[in-house]
Amino acid sequence: MLQAIWLIPLFPFVSSVLLMVTAGRMPRTMVALLGAGSVGLSALVVLGAGLEFMRAPEPFTLTLWHWMQVDGFNPEFAFYFDQLTLVMMSVITGVGFLIHLYSTEFMQDDRDYSRYFAYMNMFVAAMLILVMADNLLLLFLGWEGVGVCSYLLVGFWYEDPANGAASRKAFVVTRVGDAAMALGLFLLFTELGTLTIQPMLEAANQTWASGDTLAALAALLLLGGAVGKSAQLPLHTWLPDAMAGPTPVSALIHAATMVTAGVYLIARTHGLFLLAPDVLLLVALVGLITLLLAAFTALNQHDIKRILAYSTISQIGYMFLALGVGAWSAGIFHLMTHAFFKALLFLAAGAIIHCLHHEHDIFKMGGLRKKLPVVFWSFMIGAAALAALPFTAGFFSKDQILLSAFELHAPIAGIGPWLWAGGLLGALLTAIYSFRLVFIVFFGAAQTEPDKQPGWRMAGPLSLLCVLSIIGGWFVLPLSSVFPAADGHHVSGLVEGISIGVPLLGVAFAWLIYYRRSLPVTGITESDSGVALRGYWYRGWDFDRLYDSLLVNPFVAVSSALKSEWVDAIYHSVVRFCQALHRGLSQSQTGKMRWYATSMVFGLIALITLLGWVY
């Protein structure tokens, strides 16, 4: 079974190609079968391979063919399989299959049914290649592949130009990170002579001492790629807009899998980041700041999907924080639990949107607790896990992260508690905004009547994800051999207690503010500065405006200024000079014989004068 892991990305890839080639001529049931079935098959192969692998957990490489071989640059088309890969593949194919299944119902009425599944399958294939890649070039192939699929799926409903703009933004912003990452690859190859990840990390260990400038630069460039893909500061602005795509897309790509690719990249190359402690701290800080900024923003959104998008940014911030403080396993653990509960939340949100005539505004929902019970309970569980209420999946992973952060002492002594405190504030906000959502959408007076109920293909995945969101925390990830061992936590019970208590406090706040409406907050929120601040947060701290005026507008201005081809002006001036000369000379051609004679005399005089001069 292990030798057959190449089948895993192949199934969705072949299915995707088939769907593309048939171009919508296939019957819908067939499309659904192919689209969801191929991912299901992959999931089965992952299951089989995983079971076999866990019996004798020895990482191995499967080389398919030599990709290129030029002067020492010989990346292979090869897959690397270890525990980390296994975890990632399980998440991708498992959650991916559930979301595909859900999509077969969600997208039922769409006219481009088969195009949707073609893109989705292609995405799964690319994502699998990303996590299975044995070298960074192949990883980059998957990396760009998922980027393209994300672009295609965000802009899936292409007839609305706004969707096109959102998808372009998503692609271009991540592309900025990708360019940095590409530079990182160049640097790594030039310095270390290989891009195959494991030998490269070994070479890095031997070549560079801890804190080496080049190592830091390489790590920084990779981080650039990671923040782009994972929507962290400063390249996070694309994710909220990316919600323009169909909701299952948001669940799969923009919550569960693709956006966590950055986390995976850093975890995969952690050996490099360990050589650059400063960059590692930067990772933690980026994560912390992002999670706080995004949480504040999420608190003020109206669009249910945007709230979830900001919450995703925020949760990935936690993962970065985990990576930054060296809690690698915790980061991946959170990645997995987040994939469960965020996919659940998105799918539940999708179900609401599906049943509510594509309504996105939470203030036009309300009272859905009774109307859509399955969705309500799914959402409830998802929100609980997101808020990290005790014994949900999110609780365990987030708790590990916060405790690891608390214990961080290097490279700046005493920084750990600050990181912990920041994370805790984030947790509080997370609890508030997630239950704000729950209370506004599902409680209170009904605003819009649902016109249908989710069918089994939607309810089934929801229920399964509910289960995973609850029990996911009890999974023990077999990552100890991949990452450097972390010591057990030695924090006091007080710290532990606060970590547990804060989310509950947040839920309580949310209950008081949004359900009972008994907390007198309107005085603050409706004051002038309150309104201004909320507007500011609502616009995502005005990052879009900043980038517009800093990058987008200058680029457009430069390009339209250059459009007239100033370079051509040089050539045109040569042309004009020749034309002027031509006009002057042709005007001398008066056609008057006498003038010709006279000019001959002029010439004669000149000639004789010249001769006289010379002799």
> CA 20 to CA 18: how far, in whole Å?
5
Q: Which of 7, 30, 183, 470 binds other proteins (CB under 8 A)?
A: 183
Per-residue mark of binding to other proteins, 192-221 (x: CB under 8 A): -x----------------------------
Angle at 397 between CA 285 and CA 98, to 5 degrees: 110
Q: Is 141 a binder of other proteins (CB under 8 A)?
A: yes
For position 175 contacting other proteins by CB under 8 A, the verdict is yes
According to DSSP, the residues that pair with 135 across neighbouring strands are 196
Tokens in use for 371?
A: 């109307």
Report yes or no: 266 and 222 within 8 Å, Cβ to Cβ.
yes
Instruction: Examine residue 601 and tell whether it contacts other proteins (CB under 8 A).
Output: yes
CA nearest to 298, candidates 318, 315, 321, 286: 315
CB of 114 vs other proteins, minimal distance in Å: 11
With contact defined as beta carbons under 8 Å apart, do 242 and 259 qualify? no
- Give the one residue of 565, 573, 577, 579 binding other proteins; rule: CB under 8 A: 565
Tell me the closest approach of the beta carbon of residue 118 to other proteins, in angstroms. Answer: 10
Structure tokens at 178: 């990708």
Residue 176's CB: how many other CB atoms inside 10 A?
17
Among 82, 144, 241, 407, binds other proteins (CB under 8 A): 144
Structure tokens at 430: 């997370």
Secondary structure of 524-591 in HEC code, one letter for each residue: HHCCHHHHHHHHHHHCCCCHHHHHHHHHHHHHHHHHHHHCCCHHHHHHHHHHHHHHHHHHHHHHHCCC
Q: Judged by CB under 8 A, which stretch of 179-187, 232-240, 322-330, 455-463 contacts other proteins?
A: 179-187
Residue from 182, 219, 255, 259 in contact with other proteins (CB under 8 A)? 182
Contact between 603 and other proteins by CB under 8 A: the answer reads no
| From 63, 190, 527, 549, residue interacting with other proteins (rule: CB under 8 A) | 190
Q: What are phi and psi of 335, to 5 degrees?
A: -55, -45
Based on the shown chain and the rule CB under 8 A, indicate whether residue 562 belongs to the binding site for other proteins. Answer: yes
Q: In angstroms, give the least distance from the CB of 132 to other proteins.
A: 15
> How many of the chain's residues bind other proteins (CB under 8 A)?
77
Closest listed residue to residue 63, CA positions, set 48, 80, 82: 80
Q: Which is nearer to other proteins, 456 or 596 (CB)?
A: 596
Q: Which stretch binds other proteins (CB under 8 A): 285-293, 393-401, 467-475, 597-605?
A: 597-605
Min separation Cβ 578 and other proteins, Å:
10
Peptide bond into 234 cis (omega under 30): yes
Pairing of strands 76-81, 60-66: antiparallel
Q: Is 179 in the site for other proteins (CB under 8 A)?
A: yes
Please report whether residue 113 would count as binding other proteins according to CB under 8 A. Answer: no
Q: Using CB under 8 A, which of the segments 187-195, 359-367, 429-437, 468-476 binds other proteins?
A: 187-195
Interface with other proteins (CB under 8 A), residue from 29, 55, 65, 520 = 65
Preceding amide of 411 cis, omega within 30: yes
Rank residues 193 and 411 by Cβ distance to other proteins and give the closer one.
193
CA 158 to chain centre: 21
- Applying CB under 8 A, among 363, 391, 456, 571 the residue interacting with other proteins is 571
Structure tokens at 160: 């609305």
Q: How far is the CB of 128 from other proteins (least distance, A)?
A: 14
Provide the β-strand partners of residue 76.
Answer: 66
455-514 residues in contact with other proteins (CB under 8 A) are none
Among 488, 494, 560, 614, binds other proteins (CB under 8 A): 560
The one among 30, 44, 168, 536 contacting other proteins by CB under 8 A: 168
Asked if 25 is part of the footprint of other proteins (rule: CB under 8 A), the reply reads no
28 binds other proteins (CB under 8 A): no
Q: Which helix (H) or strand (E) holds 443?
A: none
Per CB under 8 A, which of residues 4..23 are in contact with other proteins? Answer: 20, 23
Q: What residues contact 194, with CB distance under 8 A and at least 6 apart?
A: 135, 200, 203
User: Which of 167, 286, 161 lies closest to 223 in space, CA to CA?
Assistant: 286
Nearer CB in complex with other proteins: 56/593? 593
Q: Taking the alpha carbons of 150, 153, 159, 162 in that order, is the dihedral positive or negative?
A: negative
- Measured from the CB atom, the residue of 148 and 415 that comes closer to other proteins is 148
With contacts defined by CB under 8 A, name the span among 81-89, 254-262, 535-543, 584-592 that binds other proteins. 584-592
Q: Which of 370, 518, 592, 613 binds other proteins (CB under 8 A)?
A: 592
For other proteins, give the closer residue by CB, 20 or 415. 20
Residue 449 or 568 having the CB closest to other proteins: 568
With contact defined as beta carbons under 8 Å apart, do 362 and 303 qualify? yes
Which among 408, 396, 87, 435 is positioned nearest to 260, based on CA atoms?
87
Backbone dihedral angles phi then psi of residue 324, each to the nearest 5 degrees? -65, -35
Q: Which stretch binds other proteins (CB under 8 A): 90-98, 143-151, 328-336, 419-427?
A: 143-151
Give the C-alpha separation, 146 to 573, whole Å.
48
Q: Report the site for other proteins in 69-88 (rule: CB under 8 A).
A: 69-73, 77
Q: How far is the CB of 398 from other proteins (least distance, A)?
A: 35
> Does 550 sit near other proteins (CB under 8 A)?
no
The residue whose two tokens read 């959402």 is 379
